[in-house]
Amino acid sequence: MLEFLQYEFMQRAFLAAVLVSVACGAVGTYVVIKRIVSLSGAISHAAFGGVGLGYFFSLNPVIAAIPFSILAALSIGFARDKMKISEDTAIGILWSVGMALGIIFINLKSGYAPDLFSYLFGSILTVSTTDLYIMLVLDVIIIFLVYLFRREFLAVSFDEEFSKVVGLNSTYINMLLLALIALSIVVLIKVVGVILLIALLAIPAAIAKQYTYDIRKLMILSTILGVILTSLGLILSFIFNLSSGATIVLVMAVAFLLSYYIQD
C-alpha cells in the first residue's frame, strides 16, 4: 500500500509537506487572526518577481525570492503606514507589479525556463534536496522569531490600538510579521506555487481556529492539519496522476467545508 514511498522523490515530497506545514502553522495563525489573507496573497504574487530575478541571474529561484519577497512585504507595510495609501490599493499595486517584474526578468533571459510552471502552480514532486535544506533553514528562522516575539505578535494581533497605548512599537512588529509571511511564502513556493499557496497558508489555521483560540494550541493544530492534509493531497495526486499543488489545495478546501459542517 505504501510502495510509493520507495521512490526518493516521494520521500522528499513528504519531507517538504512536513516543513511547509511548520511554516504554515506558525505564521498562518497570525495571518488568519489579523485577517491579512489578501495582503499575504499580494506578497505571494510579488514573490514571482524574485523567481524571475533568479532565472535572470542563473540563481536558485527560491533563494532569489527570499530578499525580493521580504522587500515586497516591507514595501506594502511602508506604503500602508507611511504613505497613507489604502491597504487594498497597496495590495493591488504590489500584486500586479511583482508578477509583471517576474515576467520581464524571464523574457530578458535567453533560453527556455523549463520548470517555470512549477513556481506558478507548484510541484512538490520535483522538490530537490537543496530545496529541503532551504525550507529547513527558513523554518528554523521563522520558529525562532515567532517564539522570540510571541508576546508582541499576540498584542498586535488581538488589540493593535492597545499595544500602541502601552508603548509597543506596533509598526516595527507588523513589519517583522510581514517579513515572516514573506519567508513562509518562499517555503511554500515549490509545493503549491505562487498562485495557490495562500490556501496552504490560511486554510489549516482557519480550520484550527474553529476549535481553539489559544495561540500555542492553534499553531500546533494548524501544523498537524497541514501535515495530514498536504500528505493526503500528495497521495491522491500520485494515485490519480493529478497536479500535486492543485490537489493539495482542493483537499484542504474540502476539509475546511467539512469542518464547518461538523461544527454546525
Q: Over the stretch 9-45, which tens digit does the pLDDT of each residue have? A: 889 999 999 999 999 999 999 999 998 888 888 898 8
Q: Which residues contact 256 (CB under 8 A, 6 or more apart)?
A: 203, 206, 207
Residue 157 has pLDDT above 90, yes or no: no
Which pLDDT does position 178 carry in this prediction?
Answer: 92
Asked if the structure places residue 164 within a domain, the reply is yes
Q: Could you tell me the CATH number of the domain that includes residue 80?
A: 1.10.3470.10
The tens digit of pLDDT for each residue in 162-179 reads 777 777 888 889 899 999
Asked if the structure places residue 115 within a domain, the reply is no
| Average pLDDT of the residues of the chain | 88
pLDDT category of residue 224 using cuts at 50, 70 and 90: very high
More confident residue, 86 or 50: 50
pLDDT category of residue 115 using cuts at 50, 70 and 90: low
Helix, strand, or coil here: 231? helix
CB–CB of 62/190 below 8 Å? yes
Average pLDDT over residues 155-163: 79
Which pLDDT does position 91 carry in this prediction?
Answer: 82
d(CA 9, CA 236): 15
d(CA 264, CA 261): 5
Give the range of the structural domain holding residue 237, as residue numbers without chain letter.
3-109+120-263
Asked if the structure places residue 114 within a domain, the reply is no
Structural domain tally of the chain? 1
Helix, strand, or coil here: 82? coil
Average pLDDT over residues 216-237: 94
Asked if the structure places residue 102 within a domain, the reply is yes
Please state whether the predicted TM-score (pTM) of the whole model is above 0.75. yes
Which pLDDT does position 106 carry in this prediction?
Answer: 86
Length reported for the chain:
264
CB–CB of 178/209 below 8 Å? no
More confident residue, 5 or 57: 57
Residue owning grid cell 509597543: 168
All cell numbers assigned to 212: 481553539
pLDDT category of residue 90 using cuts at 50, 70 and 90: confident
The tens digit of pLDDT for each residue in 46-55 reads 899 999 998 8
State the helix-helix crossing angle for 150-158 and 8-33, rounded to 10 degrees: 50
State the helix-helix crossing angle for 37-56 and 170-208, rounded to 10 degrees: 100
CA of 198: how far to CAs of 47, 78, 126, 129, 246, in Å? 12, 22, 20, 24, 12
Which pLDDT does position 264 carry in this prediction?
Answer: 61
Asked if the structure places residue 228 within a domain, the reply is yes
